[in-house]
Structure formats: structure tokens, C-alpha cells
Amino acid sequence: MATDPVMSFEGTLDELLGFELLEADEEGARGRFAVSDAVRQPMGLVHGGAYAAFAESLASAATYSAVAAGGRIAMGQSNYTNFMRPVAEGTIQARATPVHRGRSTWLWDVEFTDDKGRLCATTRVTVAVRSAGRSSRRSGSRSRS
């Protein structure tokens, strides 16, 4: 797996939460984030939304690395996360594996493990693949006055 240098977390939610993209290509993605107050819920455990957000970022980055050369973009369409083990400290490791690679949607399974390699959460992510031009026109057509 190789990381696409075009896909940057700079200035995004991912940067704010401390997510690290280690590798991403059409075969999968790997990343990690440190457990900090930024990703904890009030009881001190990693917030479920942190898992869901990172899963979408990994799946979107990996899909994008495969479709960008064809003038397409990738964006999260849906995700569903299950939690197996609470985590309150350490580092969360994540690995995304493709299940389906279609023309307009890709499906990914993402597994999250703790420092001991124990499964903490799983997420199934659907990523929409769209024309980059269509998305740009939509956002560019809005007037900001």
C-alpha cells in the first residue's frame, strides 16, 4: 500500500482529532490515532463518532487513490459501527479492507484494535464515487453574499 500525497488531513476534522493516515490505495488503508481528550466522550472512553469518522476517512482516502486519475472523487455515503471493547488510553490502530469495488460505490470493512491487538470496533463503510467536475459545479454554483 502507498499513501497518496494529494490526500491531506490538514485543516480537517481528521487533523483536529489527531488521525494519521499511514497507507492508502485500492487494496486497503491503515491508520491510527492516539486516545486523547479530543476523541473521548464524557465517561473517558473513545467516542463512537471518532471510530466512525476515521473509518470513513480511511475508506474515502483508499477509494480516492484508485479513482482520482480518472477524474473522480470519493465521499462517504454511509457507515455503520459496532463496538466490542471500550478504550480509554493508548493508541487505536485501524485497517480498512475492500469488500466491493464498483463503478459508483465501493464497500469497505474497517477494524479497530487497541495496543494489545484486541478488536475494539468494526465499521462497514459505503463510499460514493462521483465525477470531480459534477461535485465542483454544485459547490461553485452557490452564491455567498
Q: Is residue 129 assigned to a domain?
A: yes
Active site residues: 56
Predicted local confidence at residue 138, as pLDDT:
39
Q: Is residue 47 assigned to a domain?
A: yes
Strands 28-34 and 72-83: unpaired
Q: What is the pLDDT of residues 41-91, one digit of tens each?
A: 999 999 999 999 999 999 999 999 999 999 999 999 999 999 999 999 999
Cα–Cα distance for residue pair 98/107, rounded to 1 Å: 6
Q: Is residue 3 assigned to a domain?
A: no
Predicted local confidence at residue 114, as pLDDT:
98
| 121 close to 84: Cβ distance less than 8 angstroms | yes
Predicted local confidence at residue 101, as pLDDT:
97
Other Cβ atoms within 10 Å of 134 Cβ, number: 10
Instruction: Inform me whether the pLDDT recorded for 9 exceeds 90.
Output: no
Q: How many domains is the chain built from?
A: 1
**For the chain, what is the mean pLDDT?**
90
C-alpha cell read off for 145: 453574499
CATH of the domain at 98: 3.10.129.10
Q: What is the pLDDT of residues 132-141, one digit of tens each?
A: 975 443 344 3
Query: Sign of dihedral through CA atoms 110, 131, 17, 26?
Result: positive
Q: What percent of the chain has pLDDT over 70?
A: 87
Which pTM value belongs to this model?
0.87
Q: Is residue 6 assigned to a domain?
A: no
Amino acid code (one letter) for 70: G
Q: Is residue 4 assigned to a domain?
A: no
- DSSP 3-state of 133: helix
Q: Is residue 7 assigned to a domain?
A: no
Q: Which residue has the higher pLDDT, 7 or 95?
A: 95
- DSSP 3-state of 27: coil
Q: Is residue 5 assigned to a domain?
A: no
Which structural domain range is residue 39 located in? 13-140
Q: Is residue 27 assigned to a domain?
A: yes
Alpha carbon 145 to chain centroid, angstroms: 33
- DSSP 3-state of 23: strand
